[in-house]
Amino acid sequence: MKSLRIHYFQHVPFEGLGYIETWASENKHQLSSTQFYKGELPPNVEEIDWLIVMGGPMNIYEETTYPWLITEKSFIKQAIEQNKPVLGICLGSQLIASVLGARIKANQMKEIGWFPVEFTPDKVFYTAFKGIPKQRTVVFHWHGDTFDLPEGAVLISSSEVCRNQAFIFKDNVIGFQFHLETTIESLKNMLYHGKEELKENGAYIQNPDTILLGANHIRENNKLMAHVLNGMYLTMNDEH
């Protein structure tokens, strides 16, 4: 596998790459980051091969509180226009959807915990999702907002209370509302920093003990994450 320059955007200290870092290391890819919470600025888009946009507790429209969101959206737009692979997770998927012209809105219910998603039949047409062994998979969620499906994007998965859980745009731009990158360490960090949100009432908000018991899904989620990342790499290789 050819070494890639993978750059990622991080919005808070406790939502890093998780398993994606393991995958990148095992495949000898170069990693660099912009940690917006430290006031860092992104590189020139020409200096990267691949962009990953991580999650965070802020909303994509809070530009007054987080002015770097303006810079971030501009960079994501440039990366997509230059046909670079872009992967967004949770907040990252919402940022990508917004850049592609879709509306971001509050979901009918918050989803926090381990809940199943159903993959659509269209997944077979895309290298990143082809060969996924299960039609239905339990994944880790932590989101209150959702997005309309961007024009030109294809829906890849849905859950019971959130129709637009994942999409793909032009073969190499993917957005996930859920967290396939979760490790036991990142799970514990999110539980600690998001503990106030877990006190809310909701049919799709699990308690911390239930969430920790769901850690047995992590291995399968990480395998699925690797499948998608390998597929994105193959798609990129085919195009270049």
d(CA 162, CA 64): 28
For residue 76, CA distances in Å to 79, 93, 187, 216 come to 5, 11, 26, 34
Q: CA 156, 113, 64, 7 torsion: positive or negative?
A: negative
Mapped onto helix, strand or coil, the DSSP state of residue 6 is strand
Counting every residue written for the chain, the total comes to: 240
- Active-site annotation, residues: 90, 179, 181
Place of tokens 């809105």: 105
Question: What is the chain's Cα-based Rg?
Answer: 16
The most distant pair of C-alpha atoms in the chain lies apart, rounded to whole Å, by 49
